[in-house]
Amino acid sequence: MGLLLKDGLVVDPAQDLEAVCDLLIAGGRISRLAPAGTIPAEGHQVQDCRGLVICPGFIDMHVHLREPGQEYKETIATGGRAAAAGGFTAVACMPNTQPVNDTAAVTRFILEQADRAKQVRVYPVAAVSQGSQGKILAEYGELKAAGAVALSDDGRPVANAQLMRRALEYAHTFGLLVISHAEDLDLAGNGVMHEGLVSVQMGLRGIPAAAETVAVFRDCELARLTGARLHIAHVSTAGAVEVIRWAKVRGAPVTAETAPHYFSLTDEAVRGFNTNAKMNPPLRPAADVAAIKQGLGDGTLDCIATDHAPHSVLEKEVEFDQAANGIIGLETAVGLSLKLVQEGVLTLRQMVASLSTHPARILGVGGGTLQEGQPADITVLDPNRPWTVDVEQFQSKSRNSPFHGWQLPGRAVMTLVAGEIRYRHNT
Amino acid sequence: MQTVEAQGLRFRRKDLLGLADLSRAEIQAILNTAVSFQEIATRSIKKVPTLRGKTVITLFYEPSTRTRTSFEIAAKRLSADTVNLTVAASSAVKGETLIDTAKNLEAMAPDIIIIRHACSGAPHLLASRLHSSVVNAGDGLHEHPTQGLLDLLTVWEAKGRLDGLKIAIIGDIAHSRVARSNIHGFRTMGSRVVVAGPQTMLPPYLAELGMEVTYSLAEAVADADVIMMLRLQLERQGQMFFSTLREYSRFFGLNTEHLKLAKPDALVMHPGPLNRGVEIAPEVADGLQSAILRQVTNGVAVRMAVLYLLSGGEASGTAA
Ligand SMILES: [Zn+2]
């Protein structure tokens, strides 16, 4: 007996498909995908999907699950539950744990914990440099063999351009992607928010947009020099979008992501010293937000990834200067992305490509399509089910979201991983 | 000094966190009240029973003898009980959180907590959690509202008005909470504010905030009614903000030659402590146009007014 998703709007950019279809899941795989009414229902459990959108499972290629080391903020199990509840069937977790994921042993531990949690697929991203210290390359071959899908010193950007060059070349040797948190640390200084009108008024030290833009330019040029694949994480500035567009035109093997907060909030959100508006890169002014939306719309920015960064009140209910960077995003990303669709910034198909097709292709992890025979990783959306964000309802262990109280137009209502229902929204 | 109508001069706030939040009428209410308290300093017994039975705590996370002393004298002249707590920055890092410290203090039922902290917004964090009134005695690079108020009082007293005056503020605007409070205060009261310094010390967007910006001390000082020199924090030299003290004092320090460019009765001000010979020449600091010690005297009157108004006192309707 299979599970038949009936009469849903199937949106699968990989197959250039956007049509009302029936989709049959059996043995953990997509066994048939056919026009509505053409798959006999006999012998199957039927799920009426009229008015819903059936998408290849969403993949969040930038999360922090905090395990090992900071389990009081999040664990692979709670982060996995948050992912499923937010409509994600897979996440790629960054290596800035304690210890740093710079060895095969830590990578294997993460995969074992993910197996035990039985929530969503977890793809470990390992460190570029040992301990993310920016000095010696990590063991990329070993890490890849253990299951790492990419490399990044996220949060501790590679300051040395020569090391970045060698990292790209060495990663290319093993067919691994390098994900760059692009930030010039000297320019960023001890800034705690975007350098602009708001920072000047609030007396908070600023991080200029140039701190991101110059680093993006450096890394794009190194990708062109080496031919190695590079992915720019959490793009937040108009300048960075422009540089990535420029590099892509010149054939650089570069892709990029942005996060929902960079297209949903401006640096005005910091007013009142709101520590849930503190992140790195920082929230930018309206002109940058407009450029991010444009970059998503014209494909310069390939993906939407959350940079889900759980922190407890210990790190957030403190002075702004001392508060930790980052916000949780797994359970609001789909709603905020649907808002972009509602505003006409993205088509539904572009949104699905940003959340599924592109991250799957960039990480090289499979999924990202609903072709027959593929594992049944599926996200079912109700684009017209308005809801109010309430952090107390979150599956994540942490509550650090600036979107509490926001009204969002729709949500994921069902998340399936290998045909298993990992989340179902009850009305 | 001009007369101000009693009507509409109300100050009804729980906290004083910054001058950016205050209306012209609110600032005027504080200044009027401060004027009525100035006289107390001239009495042989400098004490009134106004705040008898009230408890005022000063909570200082940065050392500052002068500001703390000024607040303490202000509270004592109003007969409040005062407790001073100085928290070394090093122990605060390892010790309890700001919120926990504040809640512990509040459990002892103080009426007003005066806080100085190296982090911008720390007083706001306290104010949002506490029932007691919170006074910002300087937060990070953000604001130092009582300094701004005492500067306004000093200028008002000397010039009889604030409207239409040219105020030149010179030095490290970027790192100065005094500058921010003064910019808000003087602009709200109708003065024209010109800032000058090397570009390294002038934050962006000052023009958008209504300031005139120049890199030339002479240009800023020309025809000014008030010249306010900011203290140069000497450690900025190692942080790439300027080259040498010698060069800084030559281009951005106030000397008698520059002073001649200003109006003949221009007032020279400085929030202290002075770096004599760096941002201000000794003969200017001690000269006839200097209001530096008057600023200190007025600091007590302004802080008395703030404590009094936050405790529910009525603003004075008229000024002398
Ligand atoms: Zn990052």
Q: What is the pLDDT along chain A (427 residues), one digit of tens a residue?
A: 899 999 999 999 999 999 999 999 999 999 999 999 999 999 999 999 999 999 999 999 999 999 999 999 999 999 999 999 999 999 999 999 999 999 999 999 999 999 999 999 999 999 999 999 999 999 999 999 999 999 999 999 999 999 999 999 999 999 999 999 999 999 999 999 999 999 999 999 999 999 999 999 999 999 999 999 999 999 999 999 999 999 999 999 999 999 999 999 999 999 999 999 999 999 999 999 999 999 999 999 999 999 999 999 999 999 999 999 999 999 999 999 999 999 999 999 999 999 999 999 999 999 999 999 999 999 999 999 999 999 999 999 999 999 999 999 999 999 999 999 999 998 6
- Residue B1 has a pLDDT of 37
Task: Collect all residues of chain B within an 8 Å Cβ-Cβ radius of residue A321.
Answer: 118-121, 140
A74: distance to nearest CA of chain B, Å?
Answer: 22
On average, the pLDDT of chain B sits at: 91
Q: Tell which residue, B2, B58, B8, B24, has the closest CA to residue B314.
A: B8
Contact A301, A255 (CB under 8 A): no
Q: Which stretches within B54-121 are classed as H helix?
A: 65-77, 89-94, 98-106
Q: Which stretches within B189-244 are classed as H helix?
A: 217-221
Identify the structural domains of chain A with CATH numbers, from first to last: 3-54+374-424 (2.30.40.10), 58-363 (3.20.20.140)
CB pairs under 8 A between A and B: 60
Region for B197 from its dihedrals, namely left if φ exceeds 0, alpha if ψ lies in -120 to 50, beta otherwise: left
pLDDT tens across B89-121, in order? 655 556 788 998 888 888 989 999 999 999 999
Structure tokens, A246: 């420029």
B313: distance to nearest CA of chain A, Å?
Answer: 27
- Between β-strands A17-26 and A29-35, what pairing exists: parallel, antiparallel or unpaired? antiparallel
Task: Collect all residues of chain A within an 8 Å Cβ-Cβ radius of residue B118.
Answer: 321
Which residues make beta-bridge pairs with B60?
B86, B116
Q: Tell which residue, B179, B184, B223, has the closest CA to residue B201.
A: B179
* pTM, entire model: 0.93
Q: Tell which residue, A87, A121, A60, has the closest CA to residue A334.
A: A87
- Between β-strands B226-229 and B166-170, what pairing exists: parallel, antiparallel or unpaired? parallel
A390 catalytic per annotation: no
Cβ-nearest to B204 among A195, A318, A319 = A195
Q: How many CB atoms lie within 10 A of CB A420?
A: 14
How many residues does the structure list for chain B? 320
Task: Collect all residues of chain B within an 8 Å Cβ-Cβ radius of residue A200.
Answer: 203-206, 209
Task: Collect all residues of chain A within an 8 Å Cβ-Cβ radius of residue B99.
Answer: 317-318
Please report where in the chains the tokens 């709101």 appear, as a residue: A274
Name the interface residues of A facing B (CB cutoff 8 Å).
Answer: 195-197, 199-206, 272-273, 317-322
ipTM: 0.89
User: How far is residue A322 CA from its own chain's centroid?
Assistant: 26
Contact A69, A127 (CB under 8 A): no
* Helix, strand, or coil (residue A268): helix
Q: Tell which residue, A243, A256, A340, A358, has the closest CA to residue A293.
A: A340
Cβ-nearest to B121 among A195, A317, A320 = A320
Contact A256, A235 (CB under 8 A): yes
Contact (CB<8Å) A322/B119? yes
Cβ contacts of B298 within 8 Å, gap of 6 or more: B34, B38, B150, B153, B154, B157
Best mutation target among B87, B119, B208, B240 (most A Cβ atoms within 10 Å) is B119
A201: distance to nearest CA of chain B, Å?
Answer: 7
Contact A337, A60 (CB under 8 A): no
Best mutation target among A268, A319, A321, A322 (most B Cβ atoms within 10 Å) is A319
Contact A328, A309 (CB under 8 A): yes
Examine the pLDDT at B3 and tell me if it is beyond 70: no
Residues 116-175 of B with CB under 8 A from A: 117-122, 124-125, 139-143
B204: distance to nearest CA of chain A, Å?
Answer: 7
DSSP E strands in chain B: the ranges are 55-60, 81-86, 112-117, 133-139, 166-170, 192-196, 212-214, 226-229, 267-269
Contact (CB<8Å) A201/B98? no
- Residue B95 has a pLDDT of 72
- Residue B6's pLDDT band, with cuts at 50, 70 and 90, is very low
Contact (CB<8Å) B203/A322? no
Q: How far apart are CA A280 and CA A422, in angstroms?
A: 31
- Cα A26 to ligand 1 centroid, rounded to whole Å: 39
Tell me, yes or no, if B62 comes closer than 8 A to chain A by beta carbon.
no
Nearest chain A residue to B144 by CA: give it: A203
- Residue B10 has a pLDDT of 67
Q: Which residues surround ligand 1, an ion (CB under 5 A)?
A: A 154, 181
Tell me, yes or no, if B9 comes closer than 8 A to chain A by beta carbon.
no
User: Using a CB cutoff of 8 Å and minimum separation of 24, what contacts does A155-162 make?
Assistant: A155/A94, A155/A96, A155/A181, A155/A280, A156/A96, A156/A132, A156/A181, A157/A181, A157/A182, A157/A183, A157/A185, A157/A215, A158/A128, A158/A129, A158/A134, A159/A134, A159/A185, A160/A134, A161/A218, A161/A222
Q: How far apart are CA B318 and CA B320, in angstroms?
A: 7
